[in-house]
Amino acid sequence: MIPMVEVRRGGVTESVHHGVAVVAGADGRLLHAWGDPDLLTFPRSSLKPFQALSLVESGAADGLDAAHLALACASHRAEPFQVRMVEEWLGRLGRPESALVCGPALPMGEGDLADALRAGGKRRVFHNCSGKHCGFLAAAAAFGAPEGYERPDHPAQAHWLGALSELIGQDAAALPRGTDGCGLPALAMTVADAARAAARYAALAVQDSRREAAIRRLLAALREHPDHVSGRGRPTSRIVAATGGRVVLKEGAEGFVLGFVPEMGLGIAVKILDGASRGKMAVFATILGRLGLLPAERAAELARAVEAPVLDSNNRAVGEVAALALG
Amino acid sequence: MIPMVEVRRGGVTESVHHGVAVVAGADGRLLHAWGDPDLLTFPRSSLKPFQALSLVESGAADGLDAAHLALACASHRAEPFQVRMVEEWLGRLGRPESALVCGPALPMGEGDLADALRAGGKRRVFHNCSGKHCGFLAAAAAFGAPEGYERPDHPAQAHWLGALSELIGQDAAALPRGTDGCGLPALAMTVADAARAAARYAALAVQDSRREAAIRRLLAALREHPDHVSGRGRPTSRIVAATGGRVVLKEGAEGFVLGFVPEMGLGIAVKILDGASRGKMAVFATILGRLGLLPAERAAELARAVEAPVLDSNNRAVGEVAALALG
């Protein structure tokens, strides 16, 4: 176990996050491993770019633009522009909000949350996975099975599991399984296997040209619309901008981040062992420095920029969340 | 570092929390230490029962009842009964809400939060420390220095630091210091010293009979009004109820819990290393079993009862937060 993040108050360390981080190549080789690469965990929403292969390869994305694909990969914050797009997409599909399996939720931003509560409270379109669920609704229709897309044996689930099987070189349907926050199946895999899958995705290391085109389209969407993938001004957008789009990424709940580096054919997986979100993006930025994707000083600056300071309730900074150097 | 809590999804471990736990006697001896007892960290709000000594020993609590003292020790959830009591207390003091140094905040409960947002948003009385701040306002007036109670050199701060110095056997004013979320000074100390301070507090191991009476009154308040200290049905109330009031406790931010066992003269300190709140109360309950304060089976049951299951967004249980056996 490697200490990766310190939370300091008044200069004194108050809490520490340990983690595992792996950089893999498309050949499956691990270029770096901090902590145990064989740690089994759930990449959670970091798998959305893989899940979206059902949407694209089914043909259901043919009339959609890159922003829709980004939204299908998103863990969004229910910012108004994101909610409008989900509503518009449901309209195109001719489906009601109740067709979304993800449960009612509230927006994440303080102002949006207040607006939502004043307007009536929780809604399914506000759920951070509602874009993904639109994608599955679209794919399910294209597969001729519009209902039940949440079932592990539904064609829309089986399809992306097949794609993931190719990318991880093992039967993804046989991986340990739980249920994600949004009600869809969640897969467990090692941090190393998650990094390998990302590397092969980034390198377009697949047999079928249709799949290659689908991945290429999804990588472009993640690069062009990071605001849709997370939210405006969020760490995901800052990291894509800082690397000029050379790196794209998708975070997952419980401290996961998955990075894709097409030009190097690399995948980067970070898991904060305790499941915290804070610090994980700073660890990710630190790794970009180690890989030479950013100058060391720029990586350190980015690591600071993507973590909010520790504030008191009068909004004074009273501490910081700092990524530690990786040995 | 000791793994203390596992978060499981579909039976598979998703995240792990490590921690430090110490049981100390009033003589300063450590009866148990899991992990490094000399870990330096901030007990945060677990120090409120010590801070409240300024309120009681200054004489400012003479007209107050036990529920007020519990509120002065509280990290409350801004439930309506708690907010009303803070407002009533401010009224007694003849001070406006703006006299509270703690910043504007929102209630923690979902329904209370929605009500607050509809009623106008954040308020200082909603801050989880607003009861403590009423206590300091009262003490500051009694010390003849009604303004500036947040300053480390204010008599209301200096007084409890003096009391803490007696309890930890060292100059508390010399401890490393940060700023707490509510704007007051936060003290850093080792987990062992926090447990020792709690043991001496529980054992009434002080020189002065006035201080002894003050501590006795505060321990009674923590025992009689745990709902005021945290909130109705919360883990704090469940643990006090499960032990028939033989154990009282105060949680702090960033994964801290401090327990007081008057009949045994013991103090219990738990710090989840990564600062998580989840799991810490289950660890605390587990320790009560180890100390024989609860039968093993009852302690295990309590450990499960004080942790919410992992839910999906449709409120189905999809995982659990489980305390691990302590070696």
* DSSP states along A23-56: EEETTS-EEEEES-TT-EE--GGGGHHHHHHHHH
Q: Is the pTM of this model over 0.95?
A: yes
pLDDT 10s digits, B146-185: 999 999 999 999 999 999 999 999 999 999 999 999 999 9
User: What domain count does chain A have?
Assistant: 1
- Residues in chain B with CB shorter than 8 Å from the CB of A103 are 312-315
Q: How far is CA A227 from CA A74, A112, A123, in A?
A: 9, 16, 21
CB B313 within 8 A of CB A102: yes
Token digits of residue A150: 């949440």
Token digits of residue A135: 């994608």
Quickly tell me which residue has 């949006």 as its tokens: A112
Tell me how far the alpha carbon of residue A235 is from its chain's centroid: 12
**pLDDT class of B205 with cuts at 50, 70, 90:** very high
Amino acid at B135: G
pLDDT 10s digits, A25-77: 999 999 999 999 999 999 999 999 999 999 999 999 999 999 999 999 999 99
How close B103 gets to chain A, by Cα (Å)?
Answer: 4
- Given an 8 Å threshold on Cβ–Cβ distance, is B182 in contact with A313? yes
- Given an 8 Å threshold on Cβ–Cβ distance, is B104 in contact with A12? no
- Residue A20: strand, helix, or coil: strand
Residue A327 has what pLDDT? Answer: 86
CB A6 within 8 A of CB A322: yes
Q: How far is CA B94 from CA B88, B89, B138, in A?
A: 10, 9, 10
How close B211 gets to chain A, by Cα (Å)?
Answer: 30
Residue B70 has what pLDDT? Answer: 98
Token digits of residue A248: 């794209």
Closest CA in chain B for residue A20: B15
Residue A118 has what pLDDT? Answer: 86
| CB-nearest partner of B313 from A1, A127, A272 | A127
| Residue B167 backbone dihedrals phi, psi, to 5 degrees | -75, -35
B214-234 burial: b if 16+ Cβ within 10 Å, else e: bbebbbbbbbbbbbbbbbeeb
pLDDT 10s digits, B61-88: 999 999 999 999 999 999 999 999 999 9
Residue A234 has what pLDDT? Answer: 98
CB B67 within 8 A of CB B81: no
> Which range among A209-223, B112-126, B256-270 shows the weakest confidence by mean pLDDT?
B112-126
The answer for residues whose C-beta is within 8 angstroms of residue A221's C-beta and 6 or more apart is A66, A67, A68, A69, A70, A73
- Could you tell me the CATH number of the domain that includes residue B144? 3.40.710
| CB-nearest partner of B275 from A14, A40, A313 | A14
Q: What is the spatial distance between Cα A47 and Cα B154, in angstroms, rounded to a whole number? A: 54
pLDDT at B115 over 90: yes
How close A40 gets to chain B, by Cα (Å)?
Answer: 8
Residue B327 has what pLDDT? Answer: 86
Tell me which residue of A1, A28, A31 sits closest to A272, measured CA to CA: A1
How close A174 gets to chain B, by Cα (Å)?
Answer: 14
- Given an 8 Å threshold on Cβ–Cβ distance, is B105 in contact with A186? no
CB A321 within 8 A of CB A280: no
Domain range holding B96? 2-323
Closest CA in chain A for residue B117: A114
- Residues in chain B with CB shorter than 8 Å from the CB of A9 are 42, 178-179, 186, 188
Residue B118 has what pLDDT? Answer: 86
| CB-nearest partner of A117 from B117, B276, B314 | B117
**Can you tell me the mean pLDDT for A231-256?**
98
- Residues in chain B with CB shorter than 8 Å from the CB of A101 are 314
**pLDDT class of A1 with cuts at 50, 70, 90:** confident
Q: Which of A14, A98, A101, A150 to mutate to test the interface with B (most CBs of B within 10 A)?
A: A14
Q: What is the spatial distance between Cα A42 and Cα A95, in angstroms, rounded to a whole number? A: 30
- Residue A260: strand, helix, or coil: strand
Residue A127 has what pLDDT? Answer: 98
| CB-nearest partner of B312 from A10, A15, A103 | A103
- pLDDT averaged over every residue in chain A: 97
Beta strand extents in chain A (DSSP E only): 2-9, 12-25, 30-34, 40-41, 177-179, 185-187, 189-190, 248-252, 256-261, 266-272, 310-311, 317-323
Q: What is the spatial distance between Cα B82 and Cα B78, in angstroms, rounded to a whole number? A: 6
**Greatest Cα-to-Cα distance within chain B, rounded to the nearest angstrom:** 59
- Given an 8 Å threshold on Cβ–Cβ distance, is A313 in contact with B103? yes
Q: What is the spatial distance between Cα B73 and Cα B222, in angstroms, rounded to a whole number? A: 8
Strand B12-25 and strand B30-34: the pairing is antiparallel
What is the DSSP track for B244-307?
Answer: TTS-EEEEETTTEEEEEETTTTEEEEEEETT---TTHHHHHHHHHHHTTSS-HHHHHHHHHHTS
Beta bridge partners of B135: none
Token digits of residue B215: 């501590």
- Given an 8 Å threshold on Cβ–Cβ distance, is A9 in contact with B316? no
pLDDT 10s digits, A70-119: 999 999 999 999 999 999 999 999 999 999 999 999 999 999 999 998 89
Q: How many CB pairs under 8 A join A and B?
A: 152
Residue B260 has what pLDDT? Answer: 99
Quickly tell me which residue has 């897969």 as its tokens: A187
- Residues in chain B with CB shorter than 8 Å from the CB of A254 are 7, 14-15
- pLDDT averaged over every residue in chain B: 97
**pLDDT class of B1 with cuts at 50, 70, 90:** confident
Closest CA in chain B for residue A121: B114
Beta strand extents in A132-236 (DSSP E only): 177-179, 185-187, 189-190
How close A216 gets to chain B, by Cα (Å)?
Answer: 31
- Residue B2: strand, helix, or coil: strand
Burial of A207 (0-12, 13-18, 19+ CB in 10 A): exposed
Q: How far is CA A143 from CA A56, A62, A220, A318, B290, in A?
A: 12, 14, 24, 53, 56
- Given an 8 Å threshold on Cβ–Cβ distance, is A7 in contact with B180? no
- Given an 8 Å threshold on Cβ–Cβ distance, is B313 in contact with A102? yes
Tell me which residue of A156, A125, A153, A151 sits closest to A60, measured CA to CA: A156
Beta bridge partners of A251: A257
- Residues in chain B with CB shorter than 8 Å from the CB of A319 are 178
pLDDT at B206 over 90: yes
Q: Which of A13, A46, A133, A179 to mutate to test the interface with B (most CBs of B within 10 A)?
A: A179
Closest CA in chain A for residue B271: A15
